[in-house]
Every structure is written in structure tokens, then in C-alpha cells.
Chains A and B, each alone.
Chain A
């Protein structure tokens, strides 16, 4: 059974940093790209980053480019999102989601981890 478990969220002050993790199980993690998607309170979904299976390519939404870094450790089956210079508008539930072959993307999501940026 595919499982994605996010962690690392919490309450932080504006300007600070935080690193989220997403531990994957139930599939060959090193074979698939991975996404981060977030959802601000009472708002819609926003895609923020994608990393290829071998870390060869990374893509970001403009809203986080230059502040957030997506990475992965295939030996640990873990996806990361390093977030710097956090702003109040980064307050959201952060989800990781699995890519798949031939456009079969987003079949699996984690339960999310909540990041609150507030003074």
C-alpha cells in the first residue's frame, strides 16, 4: 500500500526557515517524481514544486521560487521542502503527492502538515 507521511510543520515567525519531510512507502520511491502542493486556510489548492525521480530537474511556482528548495534522498525514501524567508502568506497545509508514469499523476497524497507563519 502506497503511503506518504508529511512532517515538520509548525508555528514559525516571519522571516524564519522550516524544512518539511515526506516519507514514502509501498512503492519504489527512486523511480517517481514527487510534488509539493499547499492549501491556505479556507482556500484552494496551489502547486508549488516538482522534482524528478533522479533530482535532475526541479520546478517551482513563482510564489516560492528563490525561497523554497525541493530535494529528495532516495536512500531514505524521503522528499523534502526547505522553506526560507517565510511570509504570512505561506501559512498553509502542505501536501506531498506522487507522480506516475504516462501522466498517471497525483493518485496518492499525504495527509498534510500545517505550517503557520505568524509573529
Chain B
């Protein structure tokens, strides 16, 4: 199975600070169809996960543009440009290129 390693596991930020989360894959996530099936989610406390980014860098509908995704192959990054209070929660990356689909272990964002 593909292992996704997220770092850091805990991130503490002040309002307005820009932060990045890394997601490294044990295998290339480039599919034979040319797509890279790498997703980012935010799970706020007590809520269902919310998709932020799909196919590495595509912003989900209704997601603020302070969120951005980048990367290729095995290295991916989620950046939040100017953290807001509502961004606290746990962030997960997920890959759907290889079966079984797998999630990273999560990054908890705390607001200082």
C-alpha cells in the first residue's frame, strides 16, 4: 500500500501567518492517465471532512483562495496564506492513484 507521510504532525500558527504542510508518498502518484490523484482535506472539530484541494492543485468549490496545493510525483504541499481562526482542525492528504486509497496520518493546526 502507498504510505503518505505528513509533516509536521502538529502546527501552531498565529492569525495571519502563512504555513505549509508536507505530504510525501512512498510511490509516485502520477497515474497512467496523466492525472495525479492527490487530495487535501480539513476536518474541523466535530465535523465531517471537507475537501480543500483535488488533483494536487485544484481548489474545491467554495474553498477560500488562501489555500493552495502544489507538488508532483511523491512530494506535495498544502499552503495556507494567512491563517484564519476557522482554519483550525486536522488536515489530511489522500491519494487515489493506487488501490487501496490511503490517507496521511494528519496534521493538527492549532491557533496561538
Contacts and interface: CB of A to CB of B under 8 A. Distances in A.
- The prevalent SS among residues of B at the interface is loop
B103 A106 contact: no
- The prevalent SS among residues of A at the interface is mixed
Interface stretch (A17-25, A67-75, A78-86, A109-117): A109-117
B23 to A, nearest CB: 13
Interface in A32-48: 35, 37, 44-47
B55 A45 contact: no
A95 B43 CA distance: 13
A61 B92 contact: no
Interface bracket on A: 20 to 34
B103 A47 contact: yes
Interface string B34-77: 01010101010000111100110010110000000000000000
9 smallest beta-carbon distances between A and B, as pairs:
A47-B101, A109-B48, A45-B103, A103-B55, A61-B100, A106-B51, A44-B106, A103-B35, A107-B51
